A and B are shown apart, each in its own frame.
Chain A
Amino acid sequence: MDVLIQLVLNGILLGSMYAIISVGLTLIFGIVRVVNFAHGEFLMVGMYAAYLLAAKFGLHPYAAAVPIVILLFAIGAAVQRFLIQPLLGAEEHIQIFATVGLSTALVNLALLVFGADLYSIPPSAAQGTVMVGGFSLVKGQLVMFVCALALVAGLHLFMQSTALGRAIRATAQNRTAALLMGVKVDQIYVIAFGIGAACVGLASALVMPLYPVTPTIGTYFVLTAFVVVVLGGMRSMYGAFFGAMIIGLVDSLSGYYIAPDLKEVVYFAIFLAILIFKPTGLFGLGRGTE
């Protein structure tokens, strides 16, 4: 019983990490309608930035979150403006090739600059644990849990109650209608891609104290993030949040009760089942929401 509770707690905390990484991917997919295969590499870039800020300026990653979020916003916006936008008229798979290419380029750039070695920041309090009723919880993961909730709530407020948020929602719902209503759709796309990348920038600052960074670190997280996004119904931020929690729990429980090397099998089986039986995702809005 104790083990079960510990596993559930770990699953929820793990889920909040998946959530904070997946929210940006969902936003980009839901609004810009681009499957961003370079999402994991954005995380990697953010983590190297966090490492450099810690190593050169002694900045704790949590404090470094602000410059990293701004940096990632700029990178995301630039990618949309200079890579995706020229391809908007082209077929969808061309955009996918573009992001896959970007991902490969970023991994190799990191290899060139940093080499294949792993870098980590000096141990900090985030690595410690707190004991709650006999169960150990990692502080850094608790911070992630709170930040994930705050991020989703913050984005909700932003989308619902600001003019820009409304314009973004309008663009996501119907690009042509939004254009007719005077929304500068191209600009909205640039901003939305930037926000999506900024979210993963926040994630990288939170992940850095717990995981060392290597050029391929993105691939550790991104496959799970895609599963989360599909599970959550592709474009729903709230869906992604709950999808991430489910994956976190499945990951934790099946790793213990079935086998650690089969946990991917379990959640990809769930992934396939959802694609077959409920293609719009658990929290999807149903077909025809274009």
Chain B
Amino acid sequence: MKMFARAALAAAMLAAVPLAVAQPAAAQGTVKFGALYPFSGTLALLGDESFRGFELAVEERNAAGGLNGQKIEFIKGDAVDPNQAVGEARRLTSVDKVSAIFGTYSSSLSLAATQVTELANVPYFELGAISDPITERGFKYVFRTNATARDFANRMVDSIIEAIAPALNAKPGDLKIGIIHEDSLYGQTVSGYQKSRAKEKGLNVVEVLPYSAKSVDLTPVILRLKSAGADVVLQTSYQNDTVLFFRQMKDQGYKPKAVMGAGGGYSTRDTMQAVGAENMEGALDVDFTQYNTNPKAAPGITEFAAKYKAKYGIEPRSGHSLANYMGAKVFFDAIASAKSTDADKVRAAVLAVDIPVGQTATGWGAKFSEQGQNTRAVPFLMQWQGGNLVTVFPVDAAVAKMKTGIGAN
């Protein structure tokens, strides 16, 4: 309701400004962006969390004088599903005539909306969706700061070699690896990259088991892993199936040496609470940067969390806001250096961005490929320890030492 009132007020002001003080306002100038996120529906929680990061970046920029002296003004678009994402992208580009759109959290929404903006020659800045094809379609004006599904999968497999095997004093090739995943697009994609990376690195994958995320019983999956003697389990999952897997793993007395998730269900506090902190202890997770990260490797992360709390009154609900904040800042800087919102000039400026790893609030660097993909976005390895998700790898971003095993013994 409050949100609606605020939006209505903003709309009223927008309508009133050109009438009352049209000339001075236009002379001073504002730059209009679209903020396209799922604000309602099932994706709303993390959609809104993502938007908050963008909103904080805008406020910070405006407080510091805006973009080349112009205030940033944004118009929200509510993308509940791919159809509506297309509709809202059309409205933002043709009716509201925004200079660029920022979004989107969900990959299917981003894939749909970018079709519209590309045809309209409006830059689209993706700050949170991980599906690889978003920046693999040869689009000129689609740019993405965050890591992709392939980056996630590679980091998971590489962590076995670089972090888990040394901790176990084992040769990576000797460890038996089980890959399990829910069987929708998300699980299929990430596990596909995991399989090819594991093969490339010569690891021994003993089981690959897809299952429906709506399963009410994962005991067969667990018994298969147990029979195969899997030491390390990689899981790509949502919340419900993560909870079920951990509960039933305990029921069946299966104790692998390490279990690692690809974000999703592994990152949320709800999952940890449903599983129980003592059962979740030691679960590894590759995801966007979370808040228990060494600020030396992610300068600005502590300040961001403080600003977030001051504005919204609660701790950040996930790393999505941070990723969106970091991405928005990178693109604001690029647009500022382009000194124009012309799409081709913005593209040239984005491709010229060169930030080394470890100098943004997420700890990522920024350097964009011809396809618009950030090649310096590295997801970190995190671990549940004492009911908190802490960064454990790479070492300079870590705040705790990684341990092996699952569940408090």
* Chain B contact patch, size range: 35 or more
- CB neighbours of B183 from chain A (8 A): 261
Kindly state whether residue A259 has any CB partner on chain B within 8 Å.
yes
B239 touches A118 (CB 8 A): yes
For chain A residues 236-288, which have a beta carbon within 8 Å of chain B? 251-256, 259-261, 263-264
A219-251 vs B, CB cutoff 8 Å, 1 = contact: the mask equals 111001000000000000000000000000001
B217 touches A256 (CB 8 A): no
Tell me whether A255 and B221 are in contact in the complex, defined as CB-CB below 8 angstroms, given that A17-B216, A260-B209 are known contacts: yes
Kindly state whether residue A117 has any CB partner on chain B within 8 Å.
yes
Minimum distance in angstroms from B271 CB to a CB of chain A: 8
Kindly state whether residue A14 has any CB partner on chain B within 8 Å.
yes
A40-B313 Cα distance, complex, nearest whole Å? 37
Among the 9-residue stretches A161-169, A194-202, A208-216, the one with 4 or more Cβ atoms under 8 Å from chain B is A208-216
- Which residue of A10, A118, A129, A259 is within 8 Å of B209 (Cβ)? A259
A120 touches B243 (CB 8 A): yes
Kindly state whether residue A98 has any CB partner on chain B within 8 Å.
no
Tell me whether A6 and B223 are in contact in the complex, defined as CB-CB below 8 angstroms, given that A123-B276, A220-B216, A261-B210 are known contacts: yes
- CB neighbours of A138 from chain B (8 A): 251
Tell me whether A212 and B220 are in contact in the complex, defined as CB-CB below 8 angstroms, given that A3-B227, A116-B42, A260-B210 are known contacts: no
B214 touches A220 (CB 8 A): yes
A116 touches B44 (CB 8 A): yes
- CB neighbours of A35 from chain B (8 A): none
A102-B189 Cα distance, complex, nearest whole Å? 35
Kindly state whether residue A160 has any CB partner on chain B within 8 Å.
no
For chain B residues 9-68, which have a beta carbon within 8 Å of chain A? 41-45
Minimum distance in angstroms from A212 CB to a CB of chain B: 5
A107 to B, closest residue via Cβ: B42
Tell me whether A120 and B223 are in contact in the complex, defined as CB-CB below 8 angstroms, given that A252-B217, A261-B183 are known contacts: no
Kindly state whether residue B212 has any CB partner on chain A within 8 Å.
yes
A261 touches B223 (CB 8 A): no
> Which DSSP category, helix, strand, loop or mixed, fits chain A's interface?
helix
A255 touches B220 (CB 8 A): yes
Kindly state whether residue B252 has any CB partner on chain A within 8 Å.
yes
- CB neighbours of A256 from chain B (8 A): 220, 223-224
Tell me whether A7 and B220 are in contact in the complex, defined as CB-CB below 8 angstroms, given that A212-B274, A261-B210 are known contacts: yes
- CB neighbours of B252 from chain A (8 A): 6, 136
B221 touches A260 (CB 8 A): yes
A111-B42 Cα distance, complex, nearest whole Å? 7
A7 touches B240 (CB 8 A): no
Kindly state whether residue A154 has any CB partner on chain B within 8 Å.
no
A138-B216 Cα distance, complex, nearest whole Å? 14
A14-B244 Cα distance, complex, nearest whole Å? 14
B218 touches A260 (CB 8 A): yes
A120 to B, closest residue via Cβ: B274
A54-B244 Cα distance, complex, nearest whole Å? 20
A261 touches B212 (CB 8 A): yes
B215 to A, closest residue via Cβ: A260
- CB neighbours of A129 from chain B (8 A): 250-251
For chain B residues 257-292, which have a beta carbon within 8 Å of chain A? 270-271, 273-274, 276
Kindly state whether residue A127 has any CB partner on chain B within 8 Å.
yes
- CB neighbours of B44 from chain A (8 A): 115-116
A116 touches B217 (CB 8 A): no
B317 to A, closest residue via Cβ: A117
B216 touches A221 (CB 8 A): yes
A221-B215 Cα distance, complex, nearest whole Å? 9
- Which residue of A6, A117, A118, A255 is within 8 Å of B217 (Cβ)? A255
B43 to A, closest residue via Cβ: A116
Residue picked from A118, A138, A217, most chain B C-beta under 10 Å: A118
Kindly state whether residue B121 has any CB partner on chain A within 8 Å.
no
For chain A residues 112-170, which have a beta carbon within 8 Å of chain B? 115-120, 123, 127, 129, 136, 138
A255 touches B227 (CB 8 A): no
Residue picked from B44, B218, B270, most chain A C-beta under 10 Å: B270
- Which residue of A6, A118, A136, A221 is within 8 Å of B240 (Cβ)? A118
Kindly state whether residue B211 has any CB partner on chain A within 8 Å.
yes
A96-113 vs B, CB cutoff 8 Å, 1 = contact: the mask equals 000000000000000100
Contacts A111-B41, A255-B219 known; 8 new A-B pairs at CB < 8 A: A3-B223, A7-B220, A17-B216, A115-B45, A220-B214, A220-B215, A252-B219, A261-B211
Which B residues lie at the A interface, using CB under 8 A? Answer: 41-45, 183, 209-212, 214-221, 223-224, 227, 239-240, 243-244, 247, 250-253, 270-271, 273-274, 276
Question: 6 tightest CB-CB pairs across the interface, nearest first?
Answer: A255-B220, A120-B274, A256-B220, A260-B211, A261-B210, A212-B274
Which A residues lie at the B interface, using CB under 8 A? Answer: 3, 6-7, 10, 14, 17, 111, 115-120, 123, 127, 129, 136, 138, 210-212, 214-215, 217, 219-221, 224, 251-256, 259-261, 263-264
| Interface pairs (16), CB distance under 8 Å | A3-B227, A111-B41, A115-B45, A116-B42, A116-B45, A118-B239, A136-B251, A214-B240, A220-B216, A252-B217, A253-B220, A256-B220, A259-B210, A260-B218, A260-B221, A261-B209
